[in-house]
Amino acid sequence: MFPNFRAVATLILCAAVLSAPGAFAQERRVPASPNEVRLSYAPVVQRVQPAVVNVYAAKTVQVRNPLMEDPLFRRFFGGGGAPPEQMQRSLGSGVMVDSSGLVVTNNHVIEGADQVKISLSDKREFEAEIVLKDSRTDLAVLRIKDTKEKFPTLDFANSDDLLVGDVVLAIGNPFGVGQTVTHGIISALARTQVGITDYQFFIQTDAAINPGNSGGALVDMTGKLVGVNTAIFSRSGGSQGIGFAIPANMVRVVVASAKSGGKAVKRPWLGARLQAVTPEIAETIGLKTPSGALVANVTPNSPAAKAGLKLSDLIVAIDGQVVDDPNAFDYRFATRPLGGTAQIDVQRGGKPVKLTIALETAPDSNRDEIVITTRSPFQGAKVANISPAVADELRLDSSIEGVVVTELADNAAAASVGFQKGDVILAVNDTKIAKTADLEKATRTPSRIWRIVVVRAGQQINVTLGG
């Protein structure tokens, strides 16, 4: 969040520019014909609107009374049995991307949902099932149940063709008031410092986007989908002219995985860890500007290693597209089709080098994902062995070994004691944890005190729980 004085300064600067002597005079003229008066976005809206839907999600949660945690309170006031349940509901938007009833929306709209409904622009409602969820992009794909109807769809635009200043329309269901259309322009491209998803490469628009627009369509003037609206920058919770959309080229990858019957998105695996070029690093290696993606680590036998990528190489382009930072490379690489190759331009020791890298998925053998159900600090945590695929999904150092937390139930004991997705468990009560079976075995033995060694964000932490 920017401090308030910066917003005030921006307003003052704008006013100064508008009132400066010699500013360009606005051309004013009377419309030359009735047709000019009737210029409208309506034809585009009429073509697009039927393919934009409302998404209603609901999940049942147990409501715990904190007083019931006190044994004395329970003794005098009862409280046996399961806690009361409450239905939580969320509202978002979605886009029909296949005539069979395939809908793409934001993952956060349907996360944890027990029931999902789709409402069309003609007010008809359908039950839907979740086909695929991808938290890395905050996208999910739904399918309308039990129907043979053919639905209207939107075609994908090539989001790489967008330019700042292009006119766009945002369509969704803000605040639950009903389907709404707003218009604006592309105000920025390749925003990489937003902090919403793993792939930081957003379209920024000033088309009004509000709560409820999540998962809705951002379309161009030909009626093609250029992005899926996903977030706003706001102090008040309402639109302030800065909205972000996931580019259509990334949406296309997720939808293709869902159409192929996959439960997870398949992406190319690089097998190298990249870091941003700071001004200090740029000065050290003789760069005029701090741009590119610096190779900090290369996994043996990975596509990067086989292509000849080396430590301290500076990646500056992929398939002719400039790479400004690691986020830009991650996006460009993730949207390349599997099975082929990509050309990477590298600066090595001040000299240009071209490398050809194979586009293949990371090996995912021996994942052995399980949920810990025994009474312990890990209860309710889903854990997996660290394979190259798991390391890539969770952005872990490829050299680390152990068992990693891949998911946590909201009311799980593991979540309440502070475990997080991506935590790597190295040891429990002085026993090394090399695979999920080791952790399951370690939690079967009751203990008053749990001594746990965890790696979080590259830092080793020694934790003692109980007493």
Is the confidence at residue 234, as pLDDT, over 70?
Answer: no
Distance CA 373, CA 384 (A): 14
Catalytic-residue membership of 122? no
**Active-site hit among 119, 159, 214, 257:** 214
Structure tokens belonging to residue 15: 């006013």
Q: Which residue has the higher pLDDT, 36 or 192?
A: 36
Run of H or E including 242: none
Q: Give 261's strand partners.
A: none
How confident is the model at residue 4, as a pLDDT? 34
**Which amino acid would we find at residue 295?**
V
Encode pLDDT of 277-298 as tens digits. 888 888 888 888 888 999 998 9
Catalytic-residue membership of 100? no
**Average pLDDT of the residues in 132-156:** 90
**Average pLDDT of the residues in 53-58:** 88
Structure tokens belonging to residue 314: 């500076």
The average confidence (pLDDT) of the chain is 81
**Average pLDDT of the residues in 320-343:** 90
Three-state DSSP class for 246?
strand
**Active-site hit among 138, 220, 325, 438:** 138
Q: Give 227's strand partners.
A: 218, 247
Encode pLDDT of 339-387 as tens digits. 999 999 999 988 999 999 999 988 887 888 889 888 888 888 899 988 8
CB-based contact 309:272 (threshold 8 Å): yes
**Active-site hit among 90, 93, 108, 438:** 108
**Whole-number percent of the chain with pLDDT over 90:** 26
**Which amino acid would we find at residue 178?**
G
Distance CA 423, CA 368 (A): 17
Number of H helices, E strands in the chain: 12, 25
Nearest to 112 by CA among 137, 140, 84, 136: 140
Residue 142 binned pLDDT confidence (cut-offs 50, 70, 90): very high
Three-state DSSP class for 362?
coil
The highest-level CATH class for domain 272-358 is mainly beta
Residues of the chain with CATH 2.30.42.10: 272-358, 370-466
Encode pLDDT of 304-313 as tens digits. 999 999 999 9
Q: Give 453's strand partners.
A: 427, 462
CATH of the domain spanning 40-266, picked from 3.90.600.10, 2.40.10.120, 3.10.20.90, 3.40.640.10: 2.40.10.120
The total number of residues shown for the chain amounts to 467
**Average pLDDT of the residues in 35-46:** 80
The highest-level CATH class for domain 370-466 is mainly beta
The rounded radius of gyration (Å) of the Cα atoms in the chain is 26
Catalytic-residue membership of 166? no
Please classify residue 376 by burial: count the beta carbons closer than 10 Å to its beta carbon, then call 0-12 exposed, 13-18 middle and 19+ buried.
buried
Is the confidence at residue 141, as pLDDT, over 80?
Answer: yes
